[in-house]
């Protein structure tokens, strides 16, 4: 029996030695230190009696330990200072082995060094509990160049001397490999510094391609008579973004990818032949301050740089580098070839100042509405606004001698879309007036109207407002009302408490539910989500809206028309005669509408409405100031939801960062010091916030789309008593918070901590 056991032990040792030899061979064959981190840590851990392991290398320049790991197909890096702030840092600084039984035993740590501490932030972040730690230096010629750290012994209460022996063999191998890789890297740097720089040095340095692959790509490009960049992207799968970084670093100017939202200035393009630009691979891309940004594939080609300067005389030029394929796409967009669509460039090219003068007779105000170029221009402005997800279009003339600016409001902020020559300003304004059936001869007073417009297979409605401005100009603002899709209540970015309580009160048979906030804060969307939750065949639901933006099957929806006397109050009185279960009225603008709504809610109907107020609590005071009876209002009220929209951090370029202490303190103060303490968000090295770096998806802004922040005041018995006694706003606010209400600012802070937005956006909409 004893002989059998000894044979098994020998077999196990032999198997271990075979695995060790295989791992050692793989370590020495690794292409770089990074590949040891990412590809081999798991295999090395398989040889050792531990739950987890991290291999660190020493960055001598920064005096830091660093390691890399793979998380959701993304390589992430961790760094620690070479100091006694961490056990790994202490081992790298001292060159000593540390073997401890309990990482949280301060006495055990103090026996090793009085100032040694264990950083438990990673445990808090991940939920992993560190107990035993074995940390060994990776040495070369007696000098620490890295660290191996094992966490939690699988069998036993602490790591043994046998474990230390096994780890030391691994560490010795890693010491040789790390030193060889460092020397190889230094040799490559010397070779690269000795040879002339190329525009692909960044790709070589990042091991994205090898020198042999680059040589093959150059040869293939010559054979096919194309550019090397196209070969690298197509055959060697080099990401366009990384290629752009390489070109940007080499040429010392920004890299610009093709983006259909970027439209080259028509007045600069009209004097340039497209065929000439295609042959020479450049074009004027945009104006920037007092300069013109020119996109070119090689900003160091002196002959072409000189040609550009000649073509754009007396203009300051800033360079941007782009791929030839992208430059040709920009030029195709200008010529209207992309997707067979019209473009602003071709339309403005078709327009001539004399045509516009003929189009508009200043004395009579008559416009030739059949002028195809003006019609195409107006249509294309609307189509591009819809595609850019714009909520508003602003047409801003500055007279005949200066360009007319067209701006879009996207995600709550205005951005310049295009400039068109001032000579076209009256023609385009007149065309939009005709579409909205306004008086084109009247330019002295404001007008408003609306019209429907088809984009592809979708019909949108535009509300038009014209306003006379200085120097006999006339501005136009169009609100784009696309038929929105119904959003489920669970998808509205609300806290679980708010969703749960809203569902509860919405399922009541009668009462009043209000959604409050400024114009454009998503109140109608939220009310329709609530209606969608209760929209069942057994319920008759009437809605009065201005305009009807979201349509739902099962709802009977009415468009109010104040000009003929059919306003919200009239619509509600009509609904009460039409056997309703639920009534939704677009807005309580006056005492009559509010009183009718409360009367309806007290007589067995569930009433939804909106109000323009700053917060849920202030809504109570506003309605009582209108003259409502506090007892009836308190009896009718079920809940008030206050909301705002904030910009959402772009998911494609979102990145975490460690904020300054002042930024952390600002969050804590805004949330409330005591309440913030309950969130367990301590300021340490692991505390991170998020920001958008800017990418093509978000047009370099760092934001894409919006999300809601909310506060829900519930009409509890105590809250109804405060309403009946006309209590102060501060008193009602304290009561609501005590009953579980999260304020707008607090909800914004929570969404800042979760990385959905940043606090700057919350402050912009929710803090006075």
CATH number for the domain spanning 271: value is 3.30.300.160
| Structural domain span for residue 39 | 2-185
Could you tell me if residue 447 is inside a domain? yes
Q: What is the pTM of this model?
A: 0.57
- pLDDT computed for residue 356 by the predictor: 44
Q: How far is CA 716 from the centre of its chain?
A: 38
The residues pairing with 541 across neighbouring beta strands, listed in sequence order, are: 555, 582
Could you tell me if residue 680 is inside a domain? no
Q: How far apart are CA 423 and CA 302, in angstroms?
A: 37
Q: Are 334 and 366 contained in the same domain?
A: no
Q: How far apart are CA 726 and CA 633, in angstroms?
A: 11
Could you tell me if residue 665 is inside a domain? no
Helix (H) and strand (E) counts in the chain: 31, 26
Q: How far is CA 571 from the centre of its chain?
A: 41
Q: Are 210 and 296 contained in the same domain?
A: no
DSSP string covering 545-605, please?
A: ESS--S--TTEEEEE-BGGGTB-HHHHHHHHHTS--SEEEES---SHHHHHHHHHHHHTT-
Q: Are 356 and 478 contained in the same domain?
A: yes
Q: How many CA atoms lie within 13 A of 425 on its CB side?
A: 27
Q: Are 42 and 72 contained in the same domain?
A: yes
Query: How confident is the model over 20-78, as pLDDT tens digits?
Result: 787 777 777 777 787 787 777 777 877 788 888 888 988 887 888 888 876 655 667 78
Could you tell me if residue 195 is inside a domain? no
- Point out the domain boundary residue: 299, 317, 340: 340
Q: Are 24 and 101 contained in the same domain?
A: yes
- Point out the domain boundary residue: 158, 185, 212: 185
Q: How far apart are CA 97 and CA 88, in angstroms?
A: 10
Q: Are 587 and 731 contained in the same domain?
A: yes
Q: Is the distance from CB of 443 to CB of 430 less than 8 angstroms?
A: no
Q: Are 399 and 502 contained in the same domain?
A: no
Instruction: Count up the domains in the chain and report the number.
Output: 5
- CA separation, residue 310 to residues 272, 275, 313, 316 (Å): 11, 17, 5, 12
The full 3-state SS of 686-698, as one line of letters, equals: CCCEEEECCCCCC
Q: How far apart are CA 50 and CA 159, in angstroms?
A: 9
Give the three-state DSSP class for 629. coil
- CA separation, residue 367 to residues 36, 403, 405, 447 (Å): 73, 21, 21, 17
Could you tell me if residue 244 is inside a domain? yes
| pLDDT of 345 above 90 | no
| pLDDT of 513 above 80 | yes
Could you tell me if residue 107 is inside a domain? yes
The bridge status of strand 637-649 relative to strand 511-516 is: parallel
- Tell me which residue of 497, 493, 546, 504 sits closest to 524, measured CA to CA: 546
Surface-to-core class of residue 289, CB atoms within 10 Å of its CB (0-12 exposed, 13-18 middle, 19+ buried):
exposed
Query: How confident is the model over 405-463, as pLDDT tens digits?
Result: 899 988 888 888 888 778 788 888 998 999 999 998 888 999 988 888 888 778 888 88
- Mean pLDDT, range 536-559, rounded to an integer: 87
Could you tell me if residue 440 is inside a domain? yes
What residues contact 131, with CB distance under 8 A and at least 6 apart?
A: 101, 102, 103, 151, 152, 153
Q: How far apart are CA 343 and CA 336, in angstroms?
A: 5
Q: Are 118 and 48 contained in the same domain?
A: yes
Q: How far apart are CA 637 and CA 508, in angstroms?
A: 11
Query: How confident is the model over 129-171, as pLDDT tens digits?
Result: 888 999 999 988 888 889 999 888 888 888 888 888 888 888 8
The residues pairing with 705 across neighbouring beta strands, listed in sequence order, are: none
- CA separation, residue 471 to residues 40, 400, 446, 468, 475 (Å): 73, 10, 15, 9, 11
Could you tell me if residue 291 is inside a domain? yes
What is the domain-level CATH number for residue 366? Answer: 3.30.450.90
Q: How many CA atoms lie within 13 A of 621 on its CB side?
A: 13
Q: Are 172 and 308 contained in the same domain?
A: no
Q: Are 213 and 277 contained in the same domain?
A: no
Give the three-state DSSP class for 144. strand
Query: How confident is the model over 661-689, as pLDDT tens digits?
Result: 888 899 999 898 888 888 888 888 888 89
Query: How confident is the model over 161-186, as pLDDT tens digits?
Result: 888 888 888 888 888 888 887 777 66
547 cis-preceded (ω within 30 degrees of 0): yes
- Point out the domain boundary residue: 340, 363, 396: 340
What is the domain-level CATH number for residue 595? Answer: 3.40.50.300
pLDDT band at 585 (very low <50, low <70, confident <90, very high): very high
- pLDDT computed for residue 354 by the predictor: 40
- Please say whether the dihedral angle defined by the alpha carbons of residues 751, 755, 759 and 763, taken in this order, is positive or negative: negative
Query: How confident is the model over 553-575, as pLDDT tens digits?
Result: 889 989 888 888 888 888 888 99
Q: Are 153 and 47 contained in the same domain?
A: yes
- pLDDT computed for residue 679 by the predictor: 87
Q: Are 234 and 310 contained in the same domain?
A: no
């Amino acid at each position: 029996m004893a002989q059998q056991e000894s044979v098994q032990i020998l077999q196990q040792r032999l198997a271990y030695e075979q695995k060790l030899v295989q791992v050692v061979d793989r370590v020495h064959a690794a292409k770089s230190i990074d590949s040891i981190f990412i590809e081999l840590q798991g295999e090395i851990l398989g040889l050792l009696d531990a739950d987890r392991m991290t291999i660190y290398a020493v960055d001598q320049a920064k005096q830091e330990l660093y390691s890399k790991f793979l998380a959701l197909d993304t390589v992430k890096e961790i760094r620690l200072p070479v100091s006694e702030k961490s056990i790994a840092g202490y081992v790298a600084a001292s060159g000593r082995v540390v073997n401890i039984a309990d990482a949280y035993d301060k006495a055990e740590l103090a026996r090793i060094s009085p100032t040694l501490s264990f950083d438990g932030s990673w445990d808090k972040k991940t939920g992993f509990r560190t107990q035993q730690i074995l940390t060994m230096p990776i040495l070369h010629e007696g000098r620490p160049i890295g660290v191996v750290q094992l966490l939690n012994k699988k069998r036993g209460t602490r790591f043994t001397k046998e474990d230390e022996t096994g780890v030391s063999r691994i560490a010795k191998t890693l010491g040789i490999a790390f030193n060889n890789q460092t020397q190889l890297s230094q040799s490559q740097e010397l070779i690269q510094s000795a040879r002339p720089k190329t525009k692909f040095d960044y790709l070589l340095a990042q091991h994205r391609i090898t020198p042999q692959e680059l040589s093959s790509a150059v040869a293939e490009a010559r054979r096919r008579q194309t550019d090397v960049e196209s070969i690298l992207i197509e055959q060697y799968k080099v990401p366009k973004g990384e290629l752009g970084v390489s070109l940007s670093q080499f040429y010392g100017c920004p890299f610009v990818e093709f983006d259909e939202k970027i439209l080259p200035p028509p007045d600069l393009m009209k004097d340039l032949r497209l065929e000439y630009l295609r042959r020479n691979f450049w074009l004027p891309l945009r104006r920037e301050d007092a300069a013109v940004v020119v996109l070119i594939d090689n900003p160091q080609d002196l002959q072409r740089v000189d040609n550009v300067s000649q073509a754009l005389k007396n203009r300051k030029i800033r360079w941007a580098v782009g791929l030839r394929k992208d430059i040709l796409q920009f030029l195709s967009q200008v010529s209207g070839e992309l997707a067979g669509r019209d473009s602003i460039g071709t339309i403005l090219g078709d327009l001539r100042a004399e045509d516009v003068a003929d189009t508009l007779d200043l004395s009579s105000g008559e416009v030739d509405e059949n002028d195809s170029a003006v019609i195409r221009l107006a249509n294309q402005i609307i189509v591009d606004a819809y595609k850019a997800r714009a909520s508003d279009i602003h047409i801003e003339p500055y007279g005949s001698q200066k360009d007319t600016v067209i701006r879009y409001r996207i995600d709550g902020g205005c951005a310049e879309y295009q400039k068109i020559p001032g000579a076209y300003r009256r023609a385009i304004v007149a065309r939009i007036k005709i579409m909205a059936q306004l008086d084109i001869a009247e330019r002295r007073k404001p007008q408003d109207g609306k019209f429907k417009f088809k984009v592809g297979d979708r019909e949108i409605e535009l509300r038009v407002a014209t306003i006379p401005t200085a120097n006999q100009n006339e501005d136009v603002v169009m609100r784009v009302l696309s038929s929105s899709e119904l959003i489920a209540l669970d998808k509205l970015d609300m806290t679980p408490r708010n969703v749960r309580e809203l569902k509860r009160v919405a399922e009541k048979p009668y009462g009043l539910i209000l959604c409050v906030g400024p114009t454009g804060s998503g109140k109608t969307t939220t009310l329709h989500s609530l209606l969608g939750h209760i929209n069942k065949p057994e319920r008759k639901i009437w809605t009065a809206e201005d305009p009807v933006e979201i349509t739902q099957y099962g709802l009977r929806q009415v468009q109010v028309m104040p000009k003929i006397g059919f306003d919200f109050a009239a619509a509600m009185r009509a609904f009460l005669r039409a056997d309703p279960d639920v009534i939704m009225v677009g807005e309580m603008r006056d005492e009559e509408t509010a009183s009718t709504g409360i009367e309806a809610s007290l007589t067995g109907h569930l009433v939804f409405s909106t109000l323009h107020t700053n917060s849920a609590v202030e809504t109570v005071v506003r309605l009582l100031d209108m003259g409502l009876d506090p007892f009836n209002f308190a009896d009718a009220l079920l809940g008030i939801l206050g909301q705002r929209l904030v910009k959402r951090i772009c998911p494609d370029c979102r990145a975490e960062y460690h904020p300054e202490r002042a930024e952390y303190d600002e969050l804590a103060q805004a949330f409330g010091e005591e309440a913030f303490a309950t969130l367990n968000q301590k300021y340490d090295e692991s505390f991170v916030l998020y920001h958008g770096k800017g990418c093509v998806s978000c047009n370099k802004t760092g934001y894409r789309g919006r999300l809601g922040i909310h506060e829900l005041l519930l009409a509890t018995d105590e809250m109804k008593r405060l309403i009946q006694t006309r209590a102060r706003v501060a008193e009602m606010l304290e009561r609501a918070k005590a009953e579980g209400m999260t304020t707008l600012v607090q909800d914004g802070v929570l969404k800042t901590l979760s990385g959905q937005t940043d606090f700057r956006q919350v402050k912009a909409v929710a803090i006075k």
